[in-house]
Amino acid sequence: MGARVDKAMAEVRKVFGRRPKPGTIWYCPQCYREDEVKAFIARPVNTLSEDDLRPIFWNGCTCFGRWNEIAYYVPRLLEVAQHNCGSLALGLPKLFLVAARVKLNNMLMFPEEMETEMDDVARTALFHLGQAILEDDLDETDEDSSWSLLKALSFLTAFDAPIEPLLSRLEQSERFSTRASFRILIAKLAAGTETFDDFLVSNWSMAPENQSVFDQLLAPTNALKMLIDHVDEIVERWPESEEELNQAFDRLAL
């Protein structure tokens, strides 16, 4: 992990470390047994494996636990993701799935009393971690990362925290690969060859503030200006990007 991720992880541990261990966890009796849930709670958190944590990764805030019951386990979820995958980035989307379920009200099939709002401090800590992981990963590659950017921004923009500072850093990065990947992503979005999707949550939606930022960014005049000043350099270094960039120019010129 780089310094950015270390700092963000320390923030997450500090924020979530204040939470007490839950004495009970709500569960769907059709999906889990009482003895399974009691055994889960009884285990020391630092002994829980990826298999042990599957109820939260896959059913958190739906069939297993309210947010205020499972938030205690967030640091361990991230530790396991990093240890087993070698990268926090591979485990973080699963955690954002849980977080997004809370914030985006995607539990319409369940009673209202199931939902407990995530507080702003917790949301901000997770958002900062997501940004740090993305930027560290971009710093470690010289390849086109536009697809990875799309997936990362899909859950970051839905997470109800301001995305504009991150986009500015990507656009103005000193690294060619980061600047170019961001512009190729804008080209794909402008041409309609890629869209933000619901790979994480059903009823996916972008936070209104972030939707406004992207609407402005993808306005034809703004998108053309961002692309036209850099297209020659991008095509020269990454010839395979020429077709997608041309599609974007054709679409934006209509």
The candidate with the shortest Cα–Cα distance to 104, out of 214, 221, 1, 202, is 202
Higher pLDDT, 192 or 113: 192
Q: Is the pLDDT of residue 175 over 60?
A: yes
pLDDT band at 22 (very low <50, low <70, confident <90, very high): very high
Query: Within this chain, do residues 224 and 184 fall inside the same structural domain, yes or no?
Result: yes
Beta partners for 64? Answer: 27, 60
Model pTM score: 0.80
Q: Which two tokens stand for residue 163?
A: 């995305």
Q: Look at residue 27 and give its three-state secondary structure.
A: strand
The region that residue 156 occupies, defined by phi over 0 for left and psi between -120 and 50 for alpha, beta otherwise, is: alpha
Q: What is the pLDDT of residue 31?
A: 94
Q: Which residues of 9-27 are buried (b: 16+ CB within 10 A; e: fewer)?
A: bebbeebbeebeebeebbb
Query: Within this chain, do residues 21 and 107 fall inside the same structural domain, yes or no?
Result: yes
Query: Within this chain, do residues 75 and 23 fall inside the same structural domain, yes or no?
Result: yes
Query: Within this chain, do residues 10 and 135 fall inside the same structural domain, yes or no?
Result: yes
Q: Using one digit for the tens of pLDDT, what is the confidence trace for 74-120?
A: 888 888 876 655 444 444 555 555 555 554 444 433 444 444 567 77
Among 110, 139, 168, where does a domain finish?
A: 139
Amino acid symbol at 50: E
Q: Which two tokens stand for residue 131?
A: 């940004």
Query: Within this chain, do residues 55 and 106 fall inside the same structural domain, yes or no?
Result: yes
Query: Within this chain, do residues 17 and 68 fall inside the same structural domain, yes or no?
Result: yes
CA–CA dist 122, 16 (Å, integer): 7
How far the first Cα of the chain sits from its last, in Å, is: 44
Identify the H or E element spanning 177. Answer: helix 176-191
Query: Within this chain, do residues 117 and 168 fall inside the same structural domain, yes or no?
Result: no
Residue whose pair of structure tokens reads 């599957």 in the numeric block: 54
Query: Within this chain, do residues 192 and 108 fall inside the same structural domain, yes or no?
Result: no
Sign of dihedral through CA atoms 194, 153, 250, 181?
negative
Parent domain of 46: 1-139
